[in-house]
């Protein structure tokens, strides 16, 4: 919905327009170096985002090089700030396990339905002879 508003509103400033993320780099290092950032296939990113991190107390800034390049932006506090990659992976694994269990149950049901169908066909065949 925000995207449609941005298209049709002539008086919006750039700050008011929704921001879109065009790429996420999985497996990026915890401390993105200038060499790493410049070696990305699409070149130096426009921005490196990072939100509040309370579960890893640090005595140094892992985003110092991104800051020095002028591309670091800290995300303000938000409702999902306590969610980390480990929790997301765990949710995905749990969802996959539930999906696989449902698929196994469907398979067992299909096998049982086929057995019932075969028995019915056999019964019909025996009554016709």
Element (H, E) at 49: strand 48-50
* Same domain? 72 vs 110: no
* Same domain? 99 vs 121: yes
Which residue is associated with the tokens 């950032």? 37
* Same domain? 91 vs 64: no
Residue 17 has pLDDT above 70, yes or no: no
The least confident of 29-38, 68-77, 79-88 is: 79-88
Residues 6+ apart with CB under 8 A from 87: none
* Same domain? 72 vs 88: no
pLDDT at res. 9: 43
* Same domain? 68 vs 125: no
Element (H, E) at 52: none
* Same domain? 58 vs 101: no
* Same domain? 25 vs 62: yes
For residue 40, give the nearest of 75, 64, 66, 70 by alpha carbon. 66
* Domain count for the chain: 2
Residue 58 half-sphere exposure toward CB, CA atoms < 13 A: 11
* Same domain? 50 vs 5: yes
Domain span holding position 115: 84-129
Is the pTM value of this prediction over 0.85? Answer: no
* Same domain? 93 vs 67: no
């Amino acid at each position: 919905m925000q995207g449609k508003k941005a298209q049709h509103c002539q008086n919006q400033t750039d700050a008011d327009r929704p921001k879109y993320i065009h790429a996420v780099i999985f497996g990026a290092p915890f401390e993105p170096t200038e060499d790493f950032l410049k070696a990305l296939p699409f070149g130096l990113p426009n921005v490196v985002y990072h939100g509040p991190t309370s579960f890893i107390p640090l005595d140094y800034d892992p985003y110092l090089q991104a800051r020095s390049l002028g591309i670091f932006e800290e995300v303000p506090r938000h409702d999902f700030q306590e969610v980390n990659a480990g929790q997301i992976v765990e949710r995905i694994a749990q969802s996959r396990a539930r999906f696989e269990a449902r698929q196994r149950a469907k398979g067992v049901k299909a096998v049982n339905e086929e057995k019932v169908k075969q028995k019915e066909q056999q019964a019909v065949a025996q009554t016709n002879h």
